[in-house]
Amino acid sequence: MTEIKQQHTFELDVGNLLVTDRSDVDIEKFKSDSWKYIGEIAKKASKTLIDNIYAREDVSDHSDPSLGKVVILDEPEMKFPREKPLPASKEPTKWELFAKRKGIKKTKKSGKVWNQETHSWVPRFGMGSAKQIKKKTEGWIVEDKVGLSDNPFEGIDKKKLKEETKPSRSGKKIKKSLSKIKLTPGTIGKDGYMNKKDAQKLLKIAQRSSASMGNFSKNLTGEKIVAKKRKLKQSDFVKGGDKAKNMRVLDRLTKKKN
């Protein structure tokens, strides 16, 4: 920490570009015009910091004419605390621990494979793949199903053949589609009972129907209390988020002053 004694005692922390004024505040000047008094001190402090930076040795090789003077600053002395701790690194999964112990490394499959029949590289999946070529070359012979039709060329489509031969499941399909239909809260199903989820939803609607929108409604015995989800700020996960947030606050203050 560099201490410079002038009319005001300034302590410089060049690594953080920080100037600290340790001198006493002139109460009379501050009360008469606080902004003018603070502005004069800030002007002197910034001039002291800039003079200290410009007095340092130029380490630039002058290869880039657009660059001016380049200096090396000191290591920061003051450690500024974060609003929240740094995000903790994720613990490895069981598979990652097992792979590390066994020396298993993840390898990416190539997009091309060698086809022995055509003696060329073909895509592993999709159009032109070995599977599609095999399907085209082997699918020209179709076995005629006995009793399906008198015409052997009918039923070549395997999907259509499967649909015609499998047993009817229309009853199960109708029952499944009816089970997917959402009933309005308070509606009793065909079996005379109400779904648990619908009953809880109906209870919440009834509680919120009061004048206080359910803020003073008592919870029933055994009723599940839904906790409010805390919304985390983006700065909790992004590196440098605290700095950007503080700079926005500083910009708003300077705009109000101007």
Q: What's the pLDDT band for 67 if we cut at 50, 70, 90?
A: confident
pTM attached to this predicted model: 0.33
Sheet bearing 2-5, strands edge to edge: 2-5, 9-13, 18-21
Domain ranges (residues) in the chain:
1-80, 112-165, 176-207, 229-258
The structure tokens listed for 172 are 């199960």
**pLDDT given at position 156:** 53
Q: What's the pLDDT band for 188 if we cut at 50, 70, 90?
A: low
More confident of the two residues 174 and 77: 77
The H or E element spanning position 2 is strand 2-5
Per-residue pLDDT tens digits for 195-222: 777 777 777 777 777 777 777 777 777 7
The CA distances from residue 132 to 7, 114, 235, in Å, are: 87, 14, 50
Cα–Cα distance between 243 and 236 in angstroms, integer?
A: 12
Per-residue pLDDT tens digits for 122-131: 888 888 887 7
